[in-house]
Amino acid sequence: MNDVDILGIDLGTTNSAIAIWEPETGQAKVLYNSEGDRITPSVVMFNTQTNLPIVGKSALGCITSNPTQVIYSVKRFMGCTFRDDRVRIDQSQVT
């Protein structure tokens, strides 16, 4: 692969994607993740045994077995404080 001058990241609330600009074709190309998909669920889990993050589908699959270790929907809280009504309502439903 040649050097990439432009990399774009779409950090979505539900899914995220990464693309590169290909000067040869004059188009952006969305990259595949390690699971072979072009989009990755915007979900992270921190494995307490290894202290390593688990992302995407693998983390999404842990939501029912390890709900306190899985982080999702963070983007909609950016810029909010813990006193914000939206945060308090959601916090009461998940803790």
What pTM value is reported for the model?
Answer: 0.73
Cβ–Cβ < 8 Å for 72, 65: no
* CATH number, domain with residue 12: 3.30.420.40
| Domain limits for position 23 | 7-94
| ∠ CA 77-66-75, rounded to 5° | 15
Within-domain flag for 2: no
What confidence score (pLDDT) does residue 46 get?
87
Tokens at 8, concatenated = 């774009």
What confidence score (pLDDT) does residue 59 get?
93
Cβ–Cβ < 8 Å for 31, 16: no
What confidence score (pLDDT) does residue 94 get?
63
Tokens at 77, concatenated = 């809280």
Within-domain flag for 1: no
Give the mean pLDDT per block of 10 residues along the chain (95 residues).
77 93 91 95 90 92 86 81 82 66
**What count of other Cβ atoms lies within 10 Å of the Cβ of residue 13?**
12
Number of structural domains (the chain) is 1
